[in-house]
């Protein structure tokens, strides 16, 4: 499977000359060694520079060797392969660094006391305090947002899949897509202009949930729609043929069949809005005290807490520690939601089919 | 064909003969039920449209209150003084910062994201590609404030080495000169945004690359193409519009990102010639930073800048979706 140009190297065989399988590994290892040698020799401080030199060396040496042995086209193929690998590695570095930093710095103050106490009476630069008020606020705000967004989202998806024909359905589909891309701060500004500035309702957890529900709705619609589309038409037809009215068919046949996927979608949507900071910043305002009532007065919120600990810390280590610990809590919460949601999806998948 | 096999799997739990007998006797009631249900579901669809319209209307109304009292030009003033009389504010600096940081983010993220998508669909060993795709999904779920915290406390200190190097070799261009100090500049923001939008561009591109007809690839292979030639001749042309729309979705994210920018950037209200020196601002960052001290009029002014952001993201996202939808009809995927 190669060009005649290189066959002269191994006359009589159908293959052109090929580099051995271990060659890419050897090239990478070799260039790493050389890069470390250069780095030490030239006294380069940064490990990132070593890595860059190694990457450049690996790509170049692969190209040169492959071009000599295998021919230009194969060499180009190898260079593309190594570039694609480099892309992947480049993307992994920040992720690994982010997780590492959050875990390493977060575990310092994260304990039972941190989870069960508020910031009442703790100055920003002092150590101590906790995230209880923020955790409570976030749970209430996200819960309310879910209560608002899920019924509307699921019903809209049902409309689009089961009833939707013509202009209205197309308009709804299009705007749901567009709505997915609304910046969270714009959703916050909308609720600010309408709920707080015009209706004069004041900052509260509920105002935050209104904005969060706007962000959540399109995600729920999208995922539910995909799940409903997977329900085989034969099931609907069987039910309708038995004389069951359409609405009962939907409630008793279509929804139960796809419930696993819908729950997954809702949980992913919850995971997404839990980390939203901007609308909470504009609408919930934040407080250091425990406020259990989401309908009145400012509340705390976990993402907002991270921001405030960072912004008001004036460089103090205690506040940064709290910010990292809160970030670790938030990531853990979001990741667990994600994992559970995907678990449900996998567990339910064989029954709903694809 | 696989629908029919799964149909037999899925059928058993569903038929429930009990309620049918009752509904048959009360046909009128069931028809009302149908009507109510249709009304409810259509109503929520319409409610979504109403919300979109309401966002535009309310933002425009509050924005008009602010802009009518603006003594600078809303589009070209290099200031944001809403508390003085007469107030002067304009979005020139914000528009510049938003566009520049997003363009940097796109320039960095799109090639890498396409590379990763190709890696996952065509290069990675099968055992690796599943878990990696999973990790990238999780990466998309990391809240932006955590990216912001990481950016400000980990990325910024690490970039000063790179910035020193850039200044040393490319400082003469002016665009890449650096006066030292913390690297809280538009370029840093762009790098951070690139990391943040990488997952979404990767995911959408991956879906598109996966839909490339197997026949196209096999035809190329049969002609003796190398793997790279297969990618270049059959995968990339097929996926081009998908990659474009994926990039635009990423661009929409980058334009509206708030907290990561607000934590990393040290804002000033002017346009710096150098991308490396701290300063500038973006729409979303400006809203988040100025909101706490804003009077009601100040909030209206911020809403006006938010309206501009809303319109921009609406156009970008709408265009991206239109490209995707056209593609869908054309390829017959997603039946």
Q: What number is the average pLDDT over the span B96-101? A: 92
Number of other residues whose CB lies within 10 A of the CB of residue A187: 29
- pLDDT one-digit tens code per residue, B276-311: 888 888 999 999 988 888 888 888 999 999 999 999
Q: What is the DSSP string of A279-332?
A: HHHHHTB--SS----TTSS-B--HHHHHHHHHHTSTT-HHHHHHHHHHHHHHHH
Rounded Cα gap, residues A158 and B39, in angstroms = 11
Calculate mean pLDDT across residues B216-234: 88
Q: Give the CATH superfamily of A132-352.
A: MetI-like (1.10.3720.10)
**A214-231 pLDDT per residue, tens:** 999 999 999 999 889 888
Tokens of A115: 């989870």
First to last CA, chain A: 37
Cα–Cα distance between A20 and B295 in angstroms, integer? 71
Give the pLDDT mean for A95-110.
90
Per-residue pLDDT at A314 exceeds 70: yes
pLDDT score for B1: 36
**C-alpha angle A330-A181-B299 in degrees, rounded to nearest 5:** 80
B227-264, pLDDT tens digit by residue? 888 998 888 888 888 888 889 889 988 998 999 999 99
Average pLDDT over residues B214-221: 88
Residue A84 has pLDDT above 90, yes or no: no
pLDDT at B101: 93
Contacts of A183 in chain B (CB under 8 A): 252, 255-258, 284, 309-310, 313
Beta bridge partners of B98: none
User: For residue A165, what pLDDT is reported?
Assistant: 80
For chain A, give every domain's residue range: 4-105, 132-352
The answer to whether A162 touches B42, Cβ cutoff 8 Å, is no
CA distances for B125 relative to A85, B122, B138, B139, B201, angstroms:
12, 9, 20, 21, 21
- pLDDT tens profile A157-192: 999 999 878 889 989 998 998 888 899 999 999 999
> Is B242 part of the contact surface with chain A (CB cutoff 8 Å)?
no
pLDDT of residue B27: 56
pLDDT of residue B71: 80
The answer on pLDDT for B108 being more than 90 is yes
Beta carbons of A156 and B41 less than 8 Å apart? yes
User: Stretch B131-137: mean pLDDT, rounded?
Assistant: 82
B327 pLDDT above the threshold of 70: no
The Cα A202–Cα A295 span in angstroms is: 10
Q: Which residue has the higher pLDDT, B34 or A9?
A: B34
Q: pLDDT for A196-215, tens place per residue?
A: 888 888 899 999 999 999 99
By C-alpha distance, the chain A residue nearest B31 is A245
Range 115-144 of A in CB contact (< 8 A) with B: none
Give the Cβ contact number of residue A73 at 10 Å.
20
> Quick one: pLDDT at residue A13?
63
Contacts of B298 (CB under 8 A, 6+ apart): B82, B83, B290
In whole angstroms, give the CA distance from residue B44 to residue B27.
26
Buried b (16+ CB within 10 A) or exposed e, A108-147: ebbeeebeebbbeebebeeeebbbbbbbbbbebbbebbbe
Listed by number, the residues of chain B in 107-166 with a beta carbon closer than 8 Å to a beta carbon of chain A are: 111-112, 114-116, 118-119, 123-124, 132, 134-139, 141-150, 152-155, 158, 161-162
Give phi and psi for B89, each to the nearest 5: -155, 150
The percentage of residues in chain B with a pLDDT greater than 70, rounded to a whole number, is 88
Question: Could you tell me which chain A residue has the CA closest to the CA of B296?
Answer: A197
Q: Pseudo-torsion of CA B38, A229, B247, A55, nearest 10°?
A: 150
pLDDT tens for B155-187 read 998 888 888 888 888 888 878 888 877 888 999
Q: In Å, how far is B132's CA from the nearest CA of chain A?
A: 10
CA-wise closest residue to B291 among A142, A192, A208: A192
The half-sphere exposure of A241 on its side-chain side, counting CA atoms within 13 A, is 7
Q: How far apart are CA B115 and CA B305, in angstroms?
A: 35
| Architecture of the CATH domain B80-331 | Orthogonal Bundle (1.10)
Higher pLDDT pick, B228 / A24:
B228
Q: Is B236 on the interface with A (CB under 8 A)?
A: no
> Which of residues B123 and A10 earns the better pLDDT score?
B123
pLDDT at B303: 92
Tens digits of residue pLDDT in A244-286 = 999 999 999 999 988 888 998 899 899 889 989 999 999 988 8
């Amino acid at each position: 499977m190669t060009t005649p140009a290189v066959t002269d190297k191994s006359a009589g065989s159908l293959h052109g000359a090929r580099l051995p399988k271990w060659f890419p590994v050897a090239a990478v290892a070799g260039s790493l060694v050389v890069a470390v040698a250069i780095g030490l020799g030239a006294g380069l401080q940064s490990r990132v520079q070593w890595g860059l030199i190694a990457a450049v060396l690996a790509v170049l040496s692969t190209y040169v060797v492959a071009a000599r042995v295998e021919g230009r086209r194969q060499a180009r193929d190898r260079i593309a392969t190594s570039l694609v690998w480099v892309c992947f590695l480049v993307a992994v570095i920040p992720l690994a660094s982010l997780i590492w930093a959050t875990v390493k710095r977060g575990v310092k103050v994260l304990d039972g006391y941190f989870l069960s106490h508020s910031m009442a009476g703790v100055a920003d630069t002092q150590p101590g305090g906790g995230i209880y008020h923020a955790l409570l606020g976030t749970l209430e705000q996200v819960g309310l947002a879910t209560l608002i967004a899920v019924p509307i989202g699921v019903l809209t998806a049902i409309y689009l899949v089961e009833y939707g024909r013509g202009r209205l359905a197309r308009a709804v589909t299009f705007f749901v897509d567009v709505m997915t891309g609304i910046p969270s701060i714009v959703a916050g500004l909308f609720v600010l202009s309408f709920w707080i500035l015009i209706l004069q309702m004041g900052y509260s957890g509920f105002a935050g949930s209104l904005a969060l529900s706007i962000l959540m709705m399109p995600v729920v619609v999208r995922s539910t729609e995909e799940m409903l589309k997977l329900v085989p038409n034969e099931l609907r037809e069987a039910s309708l043929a038995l004389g069951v009215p359409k609405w009962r068919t939907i409630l008793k046949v279509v929804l139960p069949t796809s419930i696993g996927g819908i729950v997954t979608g809702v949980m992913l949507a919850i995971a997404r809005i839990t980390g939203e900071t901007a609308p909470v910043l504009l609408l919930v305002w934040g407080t250091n005290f425990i406020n259990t009532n989401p309908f009145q007065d400012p509340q705390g919120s976990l993402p907002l807490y991270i921001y405030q600990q960072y912004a008001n810390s004036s460089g103090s280590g205690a506040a940064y520690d709290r910010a990292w610990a809160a970030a670790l809590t938030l990531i853990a919460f979001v990741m667990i939601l994600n994992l559970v949601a995907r678990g449900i999806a996998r567990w339910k998948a064989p029954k709903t089919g694809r | 064909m696989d629908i029919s096999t799964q149909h037999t799997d899925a059928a058993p739990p569903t038929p429930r003969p009990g309620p049918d007998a009752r509904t048959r006797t009360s046909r009128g009631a069931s028809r009302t039920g149908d009507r109510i249900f249709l009304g409810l579901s259509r109503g929520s669809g319409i409610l979504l449209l109403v919300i979109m319209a309401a966002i535009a209307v309310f933002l425009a109304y509050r924005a008009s209150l602010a802009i009518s009292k603006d003594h600078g030009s809303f589009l070209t003033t290099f200031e944001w003084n809403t508390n003085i009389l007469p107030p002067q504010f304009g979005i020139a600096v914000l528009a510049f910062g938003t566009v520049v940081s997003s363009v940097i983010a796109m320039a960095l993220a799109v090639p890498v994201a396409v590379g990763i998508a190709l890696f996952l669909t065509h290069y990675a060993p099968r055992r690796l590609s599943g878990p990696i795709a999973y990790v990238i999904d999780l990466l998309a779920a990391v809240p932006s404030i955590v990216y912001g915290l990481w950016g400000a406390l980990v990325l910024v200190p690490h970039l000063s080495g790179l910035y020193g190097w850039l200044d040393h070799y490319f400082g003469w261009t002016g665009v890449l000169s650096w006066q030292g100090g913390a690297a809280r500049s538009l370029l840093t923001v762009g790098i951070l945004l690139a990391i943040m939008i990488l997952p979404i561009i990767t995911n959408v591109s991956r879906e598109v690359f996966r839909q490339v007809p197997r026949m196209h690839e096999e035809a190329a292979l049969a002609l003796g193409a190398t793997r790279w030639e297969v990618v270049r001749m059959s995968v990339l042309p097929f996926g081009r519009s998908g990659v474009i729309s994926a990039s635009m979705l990423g661009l929409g994210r980058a334009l509206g990102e708030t907290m990561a920018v607000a934590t990393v950037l040290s804002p000033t209200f002017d346009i710096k010639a150098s991308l490396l020196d701290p300063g500038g601002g973006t729409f979303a960052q400006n809203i988040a930073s100025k909101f706490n001290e804003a009077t009601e009029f100040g909030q209206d002014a911020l809403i006006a800048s938010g309206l501009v952001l809303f319109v921009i993201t609406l156009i970008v996202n709408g265009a991206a979706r239109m490209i995707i939808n056209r593609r869908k009809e054309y390829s017959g995927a997603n039946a």
